[in-house]
Chain A
Amino acid sequence: DVKVTQSSRYLVKRTGEKVFLECVQDMDHENMFWYRQDPGLGLRLIYFSYDVKMKEKGDIPEGYSVSREKKERFSLILESASTNQTSMYLCASSGTGSSHEQYFGPGTRLTVT
């Protein structure tokens, strides 16, 4: 079974802190994604990566950056956390075969105070 793990289920940070959210997948998937989930707004894509050291902006990249140094790991970075970044963050991965299924991690609930 594909497994996508995220470093924390719950995280509380202060405004202005630098925040790292880590995601690891064990299926040798080429593609990895970071979404944020907010009530009434669904899943919105922040960044995605289709290969090591490659990244593409999603729909809401402002205030975020990402790092993919190894194929299995995709990190989301909040350089200076703000209260409007309080949200649920979901990581996903997918392969490049005929199945385009994205496999999601359990999410990290981030609260910025």
Chain B
Amino acid sequence: GENVEQHPSTLSVQEGDSAVIKCTYSDSASNYFPWYKQELGKGPQLIIDIRSNVGEKKDQRIAVTLNKTAKHFSLHITETQPEDSAVYFCAAGAPNFGNEKLTFGTGTRLTIIP
């Protein structure tokens, strides 16, 4: 089955700086790569996703890049703000094959230092 590795497990950055979280996956059949943000006391919430036919996707201060050859994808947050402090999870799946199952990474706790 799919195996997703996520690094780092914790990350602290100064407010205004950029943060990068990296994930690798093992199954070449995976073609859908979402990122979820989990705030304290809440369930994870989708913030951005990318499909295998796209190399990069941006949404305001958030961007995700995908390298299918190397089987890795990354989340980039620019101009970080205190509200970006949360736990972030990457995931991989193959929903086009009729299976909505996702395999999640182990999470990154991001702390923004004011």
Contacts and interface: CB of A to CB of B under 8 A. Distances in A.
Contact of A43 (B41, B44, B93): B44
Interface in B80-114: 89, 93, 95, 100-107
Contacts of B44: 43, 90, 104
A42 B6 contact: yes
Given A92-B43, A102-B46, A48 B101 contact: yes
Given A100-B49, A106-B41, A42 B34 contact: no
Interface in B22-64: 32, 34, 36, 41-46, 49
Contacts of A31: 100
Contact of B42 (A41, A45, A92, A106): A106
Contact of B46 (A4, A59, A101): A101
B32 A42 contact: no
Pick the most buried of B43, B46, B95, B103: most chain A CB atoms within 10 A of its CB. B43
B106 A41 contact: yes
Bin the interface of chain B by size: 20 to 34
B12 interface: no
Nearest to B43: A104
Contacts of A94: 100
A42 B89 contact: yes
A45 B43 contact: no
B34 A101 contact: yes
B100 A100 contact: yes
Given A42-B105, A48-B101, A100-B34, A59 B93 contact: no
A104 B45 contact: yes
A42 B42 contact: no
B14 interface: no
Given A42-B89, A101-B34, 5 more contacts: A35-B104, A41-B106, A45-B103, A105-B43, A106-B43
Interface of B: 1, 6, 9, 32, 34, 36, 41-46, 49, 89, 93, 95, 100-107
